[in-house]
Structure 1
Amino acid sequence: MSTDFSRRRFLAAALSGLVATPALSGPPAASLRPVLRGEDLFKRSVPSVEDILGKARLEGLASFAVADAQTGLRLETFAAQTARPPASVAKVLTALYALDALGQDHRFETRLIATGGIVNGIVQGDLVLAGGGDPTLDTDRLAGMAERLRAAGVTGVKGSFRVYEEALPVLARIDAAQPDQVGYNPGISGLALNYNRVHFEWKRGGNGYDVTMEGRSERYRPAVRVAVMRLEDRAAPVYTYEDRDGRDNWTVARPALGKSGARWLPVRKPGLYAAEVFSVLAGAEGIKLGTPELTASVPAGETVVTERSEALRPLLKDMLKWSTNLTAEMVGMAATQARGVRPDSLKASAEQMNDWARETLGMQSVALVDHSGLGDDSRLTAHDMVTALVRMQGTGLRDILKPIALRDDQRRIVRDHPVTVHAKTGTLNFVSALAGYMTAPDGTEMAFAIFTADEAIRATITREERERPAGGRAWIGRSKTAQQELIERWAVLYGA
């Protein structure tokens, strides 16, 4: 069979399998390689693993395993014990870890605490913005807290405005190897706002560029001073970052800006960022607050306003859909603390999760260095990932995984594709992973994991090149095509 496997042919054959004889709806064959009957001509024409990987130029770079999701029987494997970077597939384990430690109904709380009592609307002591580990707090919800503070009768504060962010360890970034400017690598603390990103926007006018740095949300655009931008006349680098004078100090190369544009930049001082934005919002309510000061502990006092996140399960579903690194790291560390360990780094927390995965999910060689999969040194095997997916079959994991659209030869979504897939994608430079569940046309459910990585090329990419390395997008495209062809292969061989 030519490696140009037509998806139209697959659809036709797979759909015909839906009305095939009852014998075709039974459990998968027990052997690792399918035993084909003489009349299984279409199955004989399915491209081999070697053809699929060869066409994608992934020889020696791919691992996979697929199993019957009910029994765990391995249907087909390829280098399944080879550990590779899982990228964001690691977030599946983080979600399970958090659900186990915190419970699906857990809600994170952000509080406003008044010390010294409130007399005639004036807080006699300090007002404290206390973070409780909510990774999803945004400016709109913070504005709601300011409105409720005013509705509670508070009009002023005698003491200081303080901010508490140490409910979780305070870290400047997730992965030090990433470029400074990428918004998916922000600082971490127990208080986060807008996924710890600041909105940088520029527009060229008659007198140069107008530049704004804002804690932007759907309803509000408060300017901030804790993150500042300066334009410089240079060719490279495009961005530089420096922690100086208690601020995030950025510069950008003026020739790189063009006429106008915007991007999210990471925030390295999340507590002060959230506090500054809250101060602006409280001022709009007529409550004047001073310059925020960090505090290392939560003082005794009256909780005036409490803002709760949505329940953990839907929060994690959104995390898996949008692959938010900050959410993964914050809920992962919160889970570790709920298990009685205060980690001093992401790696220390991830090691606790690795131990949990061995004990609870039956994984043998799991070695993650964070909860998001962003770190270069994280490793998983396809065998271990499928073991975990089989173990979690029937627990509701599939329901919080993202539906993955399958595509035709022109990369258009096939709306009525007979195979359904719910999985987590993972993408880094020259790394592409996919793991989850698939349902074949006859209803057979399978758990699968596919990891591809060219670690030799990754080793040559400089820190500055990591945002858009040459050839990276084309490589990811070939890997995703191979992933779909493997899924279609398994649907035909084991469930069509």
Structure 2
Amino acid sequence: MIRMFRQLAIAGLLLPFAAYTPASTQHGLPDKVQQSLKASKIASESLSLVTLPLNAPGRPTFFNADVSVNPASTMKLVTTYAALELLGPSHQWKTEFYADGPLKNGVLHGNLLLKGGGDPKLNLEKLWLLLRDLRAYGVRQVTGDLILDRSHFIQPRLPVFDDDGGDIDKPYLVAPDALLVNLNALRLITRNQDGKVQVVVEPPIASIRIDNRVKPLKPGKCPAWPDVRYNTVKQFDGTTVIVSGSLAEGCRTQSYLAPLDHQSYIAGAVRAIWAELDGSILGQDHLGEVPKNARLLASAWSPDLTEIIRDINKYSNNTMARQLYLSLGAQFRTAADGDDAMAAQRVIRQWLARKGITAPHLVMENGSGLSRDERVSARELAKILEAAWKGPYAAEFVSSLPLVATDGTMRKRLKRTVMAGEAHIKTGTLNNVRAIAGYSRDRNGNSWAVVAILNHPKPWGASAILDQVLLDLYRQPATP
């Protein structure tokens, strides 16, 4: 019912808009792109393609440009560009520790309260520094409870997304939270040292138990992908990680899991690091809000938004993108907004309208592209990229995208080709989606916005098709 209401509300907003039609278009696909489609047995109707010249004359391409498609992670471009302009490149998030009782001789007689402000990048190092500041303030023991204030966001009720079916412990599926710590991820390190297999978990949360079933092997060549598997069993009194497989002596491997809910992870990480700092909390863990008479003990600021969007776009971080999307909603929330996701979509649509960009196909659910419901057309996304290119934060935005053959999700693509280092491209991948969007230079040194989105039940070989789009765009006719 909630999803249906959202879609109906969105449809009502879209009726007044009309699609933009350029005066001069190139409707046909380049020959080599058509050949790549045919080689992968993918119909050309599955591909939407738009290229727009940005700083020099050129003939734009519009192919299936006004079809509503799932953009996968290229939707992050809309979220991050909107955040740059609406929040500002120097925007930061704050995390704070409070006390509701007196501090005497290192003992806090009351509760310790941790208030989240939606920081997308509150990692373990920053949490350690924050707790270290608490120790420097003089706190050693807390007689009361650890209270977690996660009230900063009004969370939407969205469907759980799992593209692979059943593996809900993958870190890329972690939901956003006002008090997100280390992306809720556990790092499990397995190593065979002197014929004995050890498994270490970071952070060392007390509710995580390790069932080590890894068989030690004799010394040998360490494979790129060791035969070590991690499975979780959730029980009433904690979570057990079963580690199985085999590992040769002298070898090691690591993996990341996210089996805990936010409250268990946050509280477990705080207690583990606090214990390492020789601190103790005698009470229990529970949720609550910081009272008005509480006293601030320590606070920490996130990196600037410019750094945050670099992590989001370079490495296609879904949780951070969703965190940023809710931050937009929380910043501009009104009484009429049902939750922060609805507020974010409203704000982004109004912001685009002020720029003269009509986007009747744009549907944003969580702002990350990790969704079956998010939609956009290639023309709309290209026009947004064009506006970003002309905007005041173009340098910050463009540099946040992966550089072809160099870093991020494009680091292994188009190596040893003319495209190496010539384009900043955001990728998008779901089971039935392959996409690229961003900025590319041609051989004349001119810049283009490019969007290529392929929706197909079996998009095998699609990366080669999209790479061919970039290669063909590079080979523009030489200018005199």
- TM tier, smaller: 0.7 to 0.9
CA contact (8 A) 1:186 1:268 kept: no
Offset at residue 335 of structure 1 (A): 0.6
Of stretches 395-404 and 138-147 in structure 1, the one that deviates more from structure 2 is 395-404
Q: Does 1:264 align with 2:264?
A: no
Task: Tell me which amino acid in the other structure corresponds to 1:87.
Answer: A
Consecutive unaligned residues of structure 2, counting only runs of 5 or more, are 1-21, 215-228
Offset at residue 79 of structure 1 (A): 1.0
CA contact (8 A) 1:109 1:131 kept: yes
Offset at residue 58 of structure 1 (A): 2.7
**Once the two structures are superposed, what CA deviation does each residue of 1:354-384 show, in whole Å capped at 9, x if it has no partner?**
6346524512310122111111222221111
User: TM-score normalised to the size of structure 1?
Assistant: 0.75
Task: Tell me which amino acid in the other structure corresponds to 2:73.
Answer: S
The CA distance in 1 between the partners of 2:361 and 2:379, in whole Å, is: 9
Secondary structure of 2:171's counterpart equals coil
Equivalent of 1:88, from 73, 88, 110? 73
Secondary structure of 2:125's counterpart equals helix
Task: Tell me which amino acid in the other structure corresponds to 2:475.
Answer: V
Q: Does 1:446 align with 2:439?
A: no
Secondary structure of 1:175's counterpart equals coil
The CA distance in 2 between the partners of 1:110 and 1:176, in whole Å, is: 28
Offset at residue 268 of structure 1 (A): 4.0
The residue that corresponds to 2:398 in the other structure is: 398
CA-atom RMSD in angstroms:
3.6
Equivalent of 1:386, from 382, 387, 393? 382
The residue that corresponds to 2:88 in the other structure is: 103
**Between the two proteins, what is the percent identity of the paired residues?**
20
Equivalent of 2:181, from 186, 190, 193? 193
The CA distance in 2 between the partners of 1:72 and 1:124, in whole Å, is: 71
The CA distance in 2 between the partners of 1:419 and 1:53, in whole Å, is: 25
Equivalent of 1:138, from 123, 129, 146? 123
Matches for 1:119-130 after TM superposition, within 5 Å: 119-130=104-115
**Once the two structures are superposed, what CA deviation does each residue of 1:290-339 show, in whole Å capped at 9, x if it has no partner?**
35522331223221111111111121112111111111011110111111
The CA distance in 1 between the partners of 2:157 and 2:261, in whole Å, is: 7
Distance 1:193 1:418, change over 3 A: closer
Equivalent of 1:305, from 298, 301, 314? 298
Matches for 1:213-232 after TM superposition, within 5 Å: 213-215=201-203, 223-228=204-209
Matches for 1:107-186 after TM superposition, within 5 Å: 107-169=92-154, 175-178=160-163, 179-186=167-174
User: TM-score normalised to the size of structure 2?
Assistant: 0.77
The CA distance in 1 between the partners of 2:119 and 2:284, in whole Å, is: 20
Secondary structure of 1:403's counterpart equals coil
The residue that corresponds to 2:307 in the other structure is: 314
**Once the two structures are superposed, what CA deviation does each residue of 1:9-30 show, in whole Å capped at 9, x if it has no partner?**
xxxxxxxxxxxxxxxxxxxx98
Task: Tell me which amino acid in the other structure corresponds to 2:463.
Answer: K
Distance 1:346 1:280, change over 3 A: same
Offset at residue 110 of structure 1 (A): 1.1
Of stretches 223-232 and 204-213 in structure 1, the one that deviates more from structure 2 is 204-213
CA contact (8 A) 2:143 2:282 kept: no
Secondary structure of 2:180's counterpart equals coil
The residue that corresponds to 1:22 in the other structure is: none
Matches for 1:447-462 after TM superposition, within 5 Å: 447-454=449-456, 456-457=457-458
4+ residue runs over 6 A deviation: 71-74, 171-174, 204-209, 342-346
Consecutive unaligned residues of structure 1, counting only runs of 5 or more, are 1-28, 36-45, 216-222, 458-471
The residue that corresponds to 2:353 in the other structure is: 359
CA contact (8 A) 1:406 1:414 kept: no
CA contact (8 A) 1:107 1:312 kept: yes
Offset at residue 175 of structure 1 (A): 3.3
Offset at residue 349 of structure 1 (A): 5.3
The CA distance in 2 between the partners of 1:296 and 1:355, in whole Å, is: 33
